[in-house]
Homo-oligomer: A and B are copies of this chain.
Amino acid sequence: MTMAYIPGLAGVPATESAISYIDGQAGVLSYRGYSIAELAQFSSFEETALLLLTGELPSADELARFTEKLNENRRVKYNIRSLMKCLPATTHPMHMLQTVMASMASFYPSTAYMAGDENDDTYIREVSENILAHMGTLVAMWEHLRNGYDPINPRIDLSYAGNMLYMLKGKEPDPVWERLLDACLILHAEHTINASTFTALVTGSTLANPCSVVSSAIGSLSGPLHGAANEKVITMLEEIGDAKNARAYIENRLANKQVIWGMGHREYKTKDPRAAILQQLIQEHLLDKGGKLSKLFEIALAVEEVCKDLLAHKGVYPNVDFYSGILYREMGFDPASYTPIFAISRSAGWLAHWHEQLKKNKIYRPTQIYIGEGERRYTPISQR
């Protein structure tokens, strides 16, 4: 019997997973049972990544060891830097990331992998540390390389978020921004099965090299329907220009059936919990301490007010992209880097899913409903 075809496989279970859980009605997202509200408040990206990878909060020793490995693996081989320099200066950092990650399968050949021991735990741990460590370094390096400058070398004494800010600006990271970037990395690290994570599962199920797997997932996340919304939020807020224009602008977009970027999420019927947490952290760590955000944040708050009026009754509330783009901008990242920062963080989730897939692997091979031509005979070209 043929099963029904469901476009986009919406609602079709593609895996059994113990990694994350979404309660869309209650507006809750948890990693390995821990709500992201608690993780964003108490944990670090390093600890959260390790939680995602292993399933448990680490002991102090385990975390120290993992952090040390992440820090050590920040170094980028000079041949990888040379490869990056061959790319056009206009290369989008997502395309750079997909390219370099694919090449890392060769720069870091694994004997365990080549011997078919892809379930070897030491191998899985080491390759995950290396991929995770490189993601942040590569994005920060590219900001310099694409402008013709030597990259700033990574430091091993800084947190993951702190080192990213250091490599971007070349100076000690501001602790407030470090804290907020760390929170953003925690909040984006995992989100059940979406197109990029699904790409990682399908690619991983062929037992492809994990660098190839993450490269494929980056390709998927690079699509404008998936990863690019936080970049578009900024464009929209800049177009609005001033908080007092917010209502007219939004009403006009709604009347023209245009998307309000950063509003609504298919999984949540309430405010995206990640957006609420981010807003609260901004308040607590920045605004309450006399820190300021640019005019764009005021515009964003005005847009949120207007949307509460016009869209909340439809269950449409701000999502995480609504605030993260503003923060990345304030930290000095180029808009093209917003999706790559998402990718850096999400690589923790991709690797956790890759690892989970390996443990119970079956290659993905769905079927199709054939709607094409029936059998027909080849005609010589002279008769066409």
Which A residues lie at the B interface, using CB under 8 A?
2-21, 30, 32-35, 38-39, 42-43, 47, 55, 57-60, 63, 79-80, 82-83, 86-88, 90-92, 94-96, 98-100, 102-103, 105-107, 109, 116, 192-196, 198-199, 202-209, 212-213, 215-217, 219-227, 266, 360, 362-382, 384
CB pair A106 B88 closer than 8 Å: yes
Q: Give the distance to chain B from A378, nearest Cβ to Cβ, in Å.
A: 4
CB pair A9 B17 closer than 8 Å: no
| A116→B107 CA distance, assembly (Å) | 35
CB pair B33 A381 closer than 8 Å: no
What are 8 A-B contacts defined by CB distance under 8 Å?
A10-B362, A12-B12, A34-B378, A42-B378, A87-B106, A116-B224, A203-B216, A216-B217
Q: For A365, give its contact among B8, B204, B376 (CB under 8 Å).
A: B8
CB pair B90 A79 closer than 8 Å: no
CB pair A9 B366 closer than 8 Å: yes
Residues of B within 8 A of A18 (CB): 370-373
Copies in the complex: 2
CB-nearest residue of chain B to A35: B375
Q: Give the distance to chain B from A350, nearest Cβ to Cβ, in Å.
A: 12
CB pair B17 A12 closer than 8 Å: no
Known: A98-B102, A212-B222, A215-B216. 10 other contacts (CB 8 A): A5-B15, A10-B362, A15-B368, A87-B103, A95-B212, A116-B224, A192-B368, A193-B365, A195-B206, A196-B206
CB pair A32 B102 closer than 8 Å: no
| A384→B59 CA distance, assembly (Å) | 6
Residues of B within 8 A of A378 (CB): 34, 38-39, 42-43, 57
CB pair B203 A199 closer than 8 Å: yes
Q: For A38, give its contact among B17, B21, B63, B377 (CB under 8 Å).
A: B377
- Knowing A13-B5, A224-B206, the reply to whether A216 touches B193 (Cβ < 8 A) is no
CB pair B219 A207 closer than 8 Å: no
CB pair B7 A362 closer than 8 Å: yes
| A221→B193 CA distance, assembly (Å) | 21
